[in-house]
Structure 1
Amino acid sequence: MTKTPEPGPVPAAYDMIVVSNRLPVDYEEGPDGSTGWKSSPGGLVTALEPIMRAADGAWVGWAGVADREFDPFEHDGISIIPVPLTPDEIEDYYEGFSNDTLWPLYHDVIAPPSFHREWWDAYVRVNRRFAEAAARAAAEGAVVWVQDYQLQLVPRMLREQRPDLVIGFFNHIPFPAYGIYSQLPWRRQVLEGLLGADVIGFQRAADAGNFSRAIRRLFGYTTRGSTIEVPDPDGSVRRVVARHFPISIDAAGFEEIARRPDVQARSREIRESLGNPSTIMLGVDRLDYTKGIRHRMKAFGELLRDGRLSVEDVTLVQVASPSRERVETYRQLRDEIELTVGRLNGDQSTLGHQAIAYLHHGYPREEMVALYLAADVMLVTALRDGMNLVAKEYVACRFDNDGVLVLSEFTGASDELRQAVLVNPHDIEGLKDAIELAIGMPHRDRTRRMRSLRKRVRENDVANWSATFLETLTGTGRITPGVSEALALSLDALAGAERLLVALDFDGTLAPIVDRPDEARATPPARDALIRLAATPDTRVAIVSGRALASLVDVADPPEGALLSGSHGVELQLDGGSVTVDLRDTEREHLRRLTRIVEEAAATVDGAWVEFKPAGVALHTRRLSPHVGVALQQDARERVTRALRGITVRAGKSVIEFAVRSNDKGESLRRLRQHAGATAVLYVGDDVTDEDAFAALEDGDLGVKVGQGKSIAAHRVRSPEEVAELLGLLAERRATAVGDPPGWT
């Protein structure tokens, strides 16, 4: 515990800000009257600490003490900005609206939610206070990452105050289906609040889908795959990404604790204190009605009652940490659970063997790891859970590759941990069968399952989660070399599509960027893979480029039967030949004037050149220094906008394009999908202009961004060489799924 800091100055301007209901520190008063701050490390803190230190970050949140105002201070290298709450606000905003309205509603109304207008008013007021604190602390263009359901209005409030900010939001709990969500009287206001973010993250794909459907039902906004098109007040359209980023744990940290001799010794002590039963089953939960504690106790009690299990052989340890004990629903739940434990122990325990060891405490991490090591079977039977990190903690600790995880299919963790014994906790008979299966599972099967589970948890740890989210939000971060496991799994799913369209940008994707665009060529491995894909049954290949169609045909040397899109979709070459959009007379006149203006701008700087297209022109600045190129592009943009109206301007890598007919790669991809009759699409691109194509992807499609830069694509590779690797992998798996093309050996 560090001493209470002296009052600090007004917050500085920070480049990275995390906003959450609680700070990563707790305020404590010692027995001698001393006061100070103690770290309350969790998975989120572990993931974000190094990022925040590197980015000069600050954490905005409530200190956990009512009616106390604290000045900003620094703790363990992180700037802390406390937000005060009054006792009434804690009761109405936190215990009321957050935990007695939103929590039960978002967990499928397992308990009935309460709707009170004064709670909503407090929620709005407190959200505004958090937003104002973040806005004051944020530097120009800073990244602000808002956490969880207590602060769903903050993104829009921030955007209204500071439109320069990059705003992310992550929802740690489920998002319900529209039929449930629609019960909320303030349903539109909450969605409007969330849509202030640039990226909205969810635990499961189903949650992101529920959110997008709610947006369509209530606002009618266009949604394409994971992208929502949100109209801004100035008439422009802002793209918001809403997709799943499953959270995880510090897997290496848990395993490190589990390997300590003192923790392993404590694990053996736990088994001895329980009478060394053949099997210890473990449940670890907050005392919450969503966790399914009653269901697992009912199943266990019936197994003992019916003689399918013996209390001499099997003991259930249930850790139920205190939770929201000022809320009446939780007080009632505690009474019910403790009554059930008493009855079951009274009916089934013997003098030497207790049926259930019930522990209503919170424990330090080392003790929890010892419990995980002592447990032969881990029971995670939540009725609804955004993720459930306990399941991942158990797996991370089992470095001995032993133990069985029984996991509810209604947890987010079940999407990833498929080698667990998956159960429907509402089905008591099925739950009883699953418990018996876990207890009697042969050692070889336990080992096989646990190895698979541990591989998944290690590779998708909390650091990977935060990096993936921030990479999507900001376009920065380290890209994993080669084809990542997550991308390979997505390719597996795509390979089995009924009719597949493989569409790719050319420059920077199939072909490395070169100084002379007429010398660009696809890498030989990429071209070979495209030829194999084009020859595979029910598979079409398309190249989608900003180049004029004639130039694209010349440099791409497309495989037989390939579909081509040039000039950002103005030109299409389908199976029946080329198609060019006919221009109206006014558009032809605008094109003539546009060409003259851009040529005049290009003539002012040696090395710039103009590419002519059917509906526009492109000014290339690749041969210029970055500073000179940017200045020339800005000069050309100003000349065009002063002289002509209704011109579409599109900036790319070292190029700015002007068009008299609005079209983009997204519209082109939709036309290609329709022509090919594709049931699934892979799109790969490297440029800003490819974002329109990524936005056009639908559920079941796959987008891959090449290189750095902000993108709504779900996956990334580093270079055209890795695009070739990706295509080769897809060609192999597609051939396995639908059969080899004629002539393959």
Structure 2
Amino acid sequence: MPDPQTGPEDAQRPEAGHELVVVANRLPVDSRTLPDGATEWVTSPGGLVTAMESVMRTVDSGAWVGWAGGTGEAPSPFVADGMHLYPVPLAGHEVERYYEGFSNATLWPLYHDVIVDPEFHRTWWDDYQRVNRRFARAAAEVAAPGGIVWVHDYQLQLVPAMIRETRPDARIGFFNHIPFPPVELFSQLPKRNQILRGLLGADVLGFQREGDTLNFVAAVRKLLGYHTDGQTITVPGLGTAPSREVQARTFPISIDSQSVSDLTEDPDIQERARQLRADMGDPAKIVLGVDRLDYTKGIRHRLKAWGELLADGAIDPRDAVMIQVATPSRERVDAYRQLRDEVELTVGRINGDHAPIGRPAISYQHRSFDRRDMTALYMAADVVLVTALRDGMNLVAKEYVASRPDEQGVLVLSEFAGAADELRAALRVNPHDIDELKSSILRALAMGEDEQREAMTSLRRQVMDHDVQAWAHAFLDELESVGRDEITTRRIRLTGETPTPEAELEASLRTFAEVPRILVASDFDGVLAPIVAERDAVQADPEAIAALRDLSEMPGVAVALVSGRSLTNLDHHTRMPSSVVLVGSHGAEVGALPPWMHAEVLDSFALTMSPQKEQLLESITRALHRIASANPGTEVETKPAAAVLHTRRARGRGAGNATEAALEYALSLPDVTVTPGKEVVEFSVVDANKGVAIEALARASAADAWLYLGDDVTDETVFDQLGDDDLGIKVGPGDTGAGLRVEGTEQVRELLTHLAALRRARG
């Protein structure tokens, strides 16, 4: 695979707008440095990569978003083996905190029945959120309208909801490759509700085992209080937004069975298998364990059982040898370093006590084997031990079965591995019971060829008929069938942060300035005035304000300021003349209108408060004050029809915690419009938004076209209304429905001043 940065002939830069986007912690490629110093990208082994390769061949355009490995700046997007790859960068401290920390020292042990005590550090959670947001942003930017985004595994559990925030048009799936713990264990996680809500951003959630699915549904029901009907979860909408239905389903993952089976026909691999037995001294029996060096795999239990069988004299080390492959894993995490020391000490002790001269009792291999060598090992093994203490699936069990078209060999399989649900003809064992494990090993060693064939025939039927391609297609078929009638497409015209080229912006302004009757409207904070920590200290740019005043006095021009601030507050900070219409509280409050404007069009937007709404607003205000008191620096603002939680001045993690608490509270308010924005959450008891307000203002002023400047998510309701002749201008970075972008308030000043000059020159 070519180096995307050196630009060989077969390397391509992908185009955005993909029908299927896979999001996983790692890209499906690994980098390798060549002797000349160049970088070569090699396809990674693994079932997920194999599955996605086959699935992506069935779509017009597929993409993969993931980490390329290493730290610092990520490679540029590139195409490899027909897949469009979008690398996500990770800094060194993010690898330590997001990946090694929260993912593998907090979530992994908790999800695996607390075999090792999980650790929790708040800085780890901070980086987990930050990195999840980065993955979500990358996926949202490259998915086609109405496309499918499939997120994978425990490292990215916040990503589904984060994608849904900006891409409600996308169909989102999530698959958890590891177990999901019982609610009693999951409840120990300090950020449990945020994790659940992150996952529930998906339309379909997939789990390995039925028990995992039921555990998740139980956690949602108990911890969030959401309604569940079987495996269908009703997720309430935020405020007046409609509820959604999320499906939790069981999809046991598999392998590329036929590919593995075909390798056994290779004469070179067959010779490797024969040579391996010879290298071991041609023992009567070879017993094999293949695992990542992980405390969940039961390696210590397996070694203990084997050592006791040797000590008991039940196994003669001259007749039977054990091979233990322990692939290096997470060696910077303390628990894994400790496990390696324990395993190697145990192997050394057993070999010292029992190995005959010239042959080990246990051949320990702490390294990785390629696919061909692994297949040779499976072919040489008479017994394979899969003794996981807790495992989502364990594909070693399925690989061994697929590697035995001779229908010989015995699989000893832990009942705590997901594969045990499907591979029922295996010798099932409780690995915690060392006596039972010893008995199962002896039974496997003594099993005759006919009994082996009967069991392996059943196992192979299951593995060959249910391969990884069937798994992937089953999941995507379920995702395709869910929520078709509920999907609404939000148009994203611009992504990233690059400003519109000056020539394009100039041409658009000149065309707009020639329209006979126009409406020029703008948000306030972040557009006409830089955002500041102290809201009352805000200072509008005087030249921008002057340009708007100037425009408002010109024939055929209507001017409006549309803000989330209350009408009184907006008037205080702008001091606009009566020729400029002020709209506060996101459209719920409308100020005095110029005499020539059709006031009756705006009547429906006048502020109307019933006693019931007054009472509701008082209740919301009290609740927000309770949240603010628990998070120092957080403030509550009360408007005539709304209460607003401001987190801009919150200390430490207070902003995130307060926002989280406010959004959780919002789910209990079905008749309230809840609007999250930049460091604010607004609760309005009057249903209004800026988009509706602008549409009404355009009609009231009889405008042929309008221009709107906005920087916040609340301004997207305006950009969604853009007609062919209208101009939507996003101020600052982020995905947007606007067609143009400027960098900040300084550029807004220049734009408005220039527009005023163009309009004046028109005469």
Fold shared, TM-score > 0.5 on shorter chain:
yes
Supply the AA of the counterpart residue of 1:32. Answer: D
- What's 1:693 paired with? none
Contact 2:264 2:270 in 1 (8 A): yes
Q: Give the distance between the partners of 1:28 and 1:449, measured in 2 at CA.
A: 42
Q: Give the distance between the partners of 2:74 and 2:67, measured in 1 at CA.
A: 10
- What's 1:54 paired with? 58
Contact 1:168 1:200 in 2 (8 A): yes
Partner deviation per Cα, 1:615-643 (whole Å, 9 max, x = no partner) = xxxxxxxxxxxxxxxxxxxxxxxxxxxxx
Q: Give the distance between the partners of 1:354 and 1:324, measured in 2 at CA.
A: 27
Contact 1:11 1:136 in 2 (8 A): no
Number of residue pairs aligned between Structure 1 and Structure 2: 476
User: Which one of 458, 470, 475 corresponds to residue 469 of structure 1?
Assistant: 475
- What's 1:3 paired with? 3
- What's 1:670 paired with? none
User: Which one of 197, 203, 211 corresponds to residue 192 of structure 1?
Assistant: 197
TM-score, structure 2 length as denominator?
Answer: 0.62
- What's 1:206 paired with? 211
Q: Give the distance between the partners of 1:237 and 1:460, measured in 2 at CA.
A: 35
Supply the AA of the counterpart residue of 2:217. Answer: S
Contact 2:205 2:246 in 1 (8 A): yes
User: Which one of 404, 414, 419 corresponds to residue 410 of structure 2?
Assistant: 404
Contact 2:14 2:79 in 1 (8 A): no
Secondary structure of residue in 2 paired with 1:124: helix
- What's 1:116 paired with? 121
- What's 1:418 paired with? 424
Secondary structure of residue in 2 paired with 1:323: coil
Deviation at 1:12, TM superposition (A): 1.4
Q: Give the distance between the partners of 2:16 and 2:202, measured in 1 at CA.
A: 23
Contact 2:54 2:469 in 1 (8 A): no
Equivalence map 1:314-713=2 (5 Å): 314-475=320-481
Q: Give the distance between the partners of 2:232 and 2:176, measured in 1 at CA.
A: 17
1:75 aligns with 2:83: no
Q: Give the distance between the partners of 1:475 and 1:213, measured in 2 at CA.
A: 24
Secondary structure of residue in 1 paired with 2:205: strand
Q: Give the distance between the partners of 2:354 and 2:13, measured in 1 at CA.
A: 62
Larger Cα Rg: Structure 1 or Structure 2?
Answer: 2
With 431-440 and 235-244 compared, the bigger mean Cα shift is at: 235-244
User: Which one of 115, 121, 132 corresponds to residue 127 of structure 1?
Assistant: 132
Contact 1:153 1:193 in 2 (8 A): yes
- What's 2:95 paired with? 90
Deviation at 1:254, TM superposition (A): 0.3
Structure 1 unaligned segments of length 5 or more: list them. 477-745
- What's 1:566 paired with? none
Change beyond 3 A, Cα 1:345–1:12: same
Q: Give the distance between the partners of 2:276 and 2:303, measured in 1 at CA.
A: 21
Deviation at 1:9, TM superposition (A): 5.8
Q: Give the distance between the partners of 1:343 and 1:361, measured in 2 at CA.
A: 20
Secondary structure of residue in 1 paired with 2:138: helix
Deviation at 1:353, TM superposition (A): 3.0
Deviation at 1:222, TM superposition (A): 1.4
- What's 2:181 paired with? 176
1:41 aligns with 2:32: no
Q: Give the distance between the partners of 2:261 and 2:55, measured in 1 at CA.
A: 23
- What's 2:224 paired with? 219
Deviation at 1:442, TM superposition (A): 1.5
Supply the AA of the counterpart residue of 1:352. Answer: G
Contact 2:394 2:417 in 1 (8 A): yes
User: Which one of 235, 239, 246 corresponds to residue 240 of structure 1?
Assistant: 246
Contact 2:55 2:472 in 1 (8 A): no
Supply the AA of the counterpart residue of 2:84. Answer: S
With 113-122 and 67-76 compared, the bigger mean Cα shift is at: 67-76
Deviation at 1:300, TM superposition (A): 0.6
Percent of aligned pairs with the same amino acid: 59
User: Which one of 9, 16, 26 corresponds to residue 20 of structure 2?
Assistant: 16
Q: Give the distance between the partners of 2:283 and 2:95, measured in 1 at CA.
A: 45
Supply the AA of the counterpart residue of 1:202. Answer: F
Structure 2 unaligned segments of length 5 or more: list them. 483-763
Contact 2:5 2:75 in 1 (8 A): no
- What's 1:295 paired with? 301
Q: Give the distance between the partners of 2:122 and 2:151, measured in 1 at CA.
A: 24
Contact 1:212 1:223 in 2 (8 A): yes
Change beyond 3 A, Cα 1:468–1:380: same
Deviation at 1:473, TM superposition (A): 0.3
Deviation at 1:235, TM superposition (A): 4.1
1:147 aligns with 2:152: yes
Secondary structure of residue in 1 paired with 2:297: coil
Deviation at 1:225, TM superposition (A): 1.5
1:63 aligns with 2:68: yes
Supply the AA of the counterpart residue of 1:132. Answer: R
Contact 1:26 1:38 in 2 (8 A): yes
Q: Give the distance between the partners of 2:262 and 2:14, measured in 1 at CA.
A: 40
Contact 1:11 1:72 in 2 (8 A): no
Q: Give the distance between the partners of 1:405 and 1:10, measured in 2 at CA.
A: 44
Equivalence map 1:272-287=2 (5 Å): 272-287=278-293
- What's 2:602 paired with? none
Q: Give the distance between the partners of 1:35 and 1:265, measured in 2 at CA.
A: 33
Q: Give the distance between the partners of 1:313 and 1:40, measured in 2 at CA.
A: 37
Contact 2:286 2:320 in 1 (8 A): yes
Secondary structure of residue in 2 paired with 1:232: coil
Q: Give the distance between the partners of 1:299 and 1:179, measured in 2 at CA.
A: 31
Q: Give the distance between the partners of 1:393 and 1:53, measured in 2 at CA.
A: 24
TM-score, structure 1 length as denominator?
Answer: 0.63
Secondary structure of residue in 1 paired with 2:74: coil
Secondary structure of residue in 1 paired with 2:113: coil
Secondary structure of residue in 1 paired with 2:296: coil
Q: Give the distance between the partners of 2:429 and 2:79, measured in 1 at CA.
A: 46
Partner deviation per Cα, 1:503-534 (whole Å, 9 max, x = no partner) = xxxxxxxxxxxxxxxxxxxxxxxxxxxxxxxx
Deviation at 1:329, TM superposition (A): 0.9
Contact 1:17 1:143 in 2 (8 A): yes
Change beyond 3 A, Cα 1:85–1:116: same
Secondary structure of residue in 1 paired with 2:42: strand
Contact 2:14 2:78 in 1 (8 A): no
Contact 1:286 1:320 in 2 (8 A): yes
- What's 2:753 paired with? none
Contact 1:27 1:65 in 2 (8 A): no
Q: Give the distance between the partners of 2:381 and 2:193, measured in 1 at CA.
A: 46
**Root-mean-square deviation over aligned CA pairs:** 1.2
1:101 aligns with 2:106: yes
Q: Give the distance between the partners of 2:293 and 2:269, measured in 1 at CA.
A: 25
Deviation at 1:11, TM superposition (A): 4.2
Partner deviation per Cα, 1:133-171 (whole Å, 9 max, x = no partner) = 001101100100000000000000000111000000000
Q: Give the distance between the partners of 2:208 and 2:464, measured in 1 at CA.
A: 18
Contact 2:4 2:77 in 1 (8 A): no
Secondary structure of residue in 2 paired with 1:351: coil
Contact 2:111 2:178 in 1 (8 A): yes
Partner deviation per Cα, 1:376-395 (whole Å, 9 max, x = no partner) = 00000000000000000000
Secondary structure of residue in 1 paired with 2:326: strand
Partner deviation per Cα, 1:449-484 (whole Å, 9 max, x = no partner) = 0000000000110000001000000039xxxxxxxx
Secondary structure of residue in 1 paired with 2:165: helix
- What's 2:570 paired with? none
Deviation at 1:5, TM superposition (A): 4.0
- What's 2:638 paired with? none
- What's 1:312 paired with? 318
Supply the AA of the counterpart residue of 2:4. Answer: T
Contact 2:23 2:152 in 1 (8 A): yes
Deviation at 1:54, TM superposition (A): 3.2
Partner deviation per Cα, 1:689-743 (whole Å, 9 max, x = no partner) = xxxxxxxxxxxxxxxxxxxxxxxxxxxxxxxxxxxxxxxxxxxxxxxxxxxxxxx
Supply the AA of the counterpart residue of 2:3. Answer: K
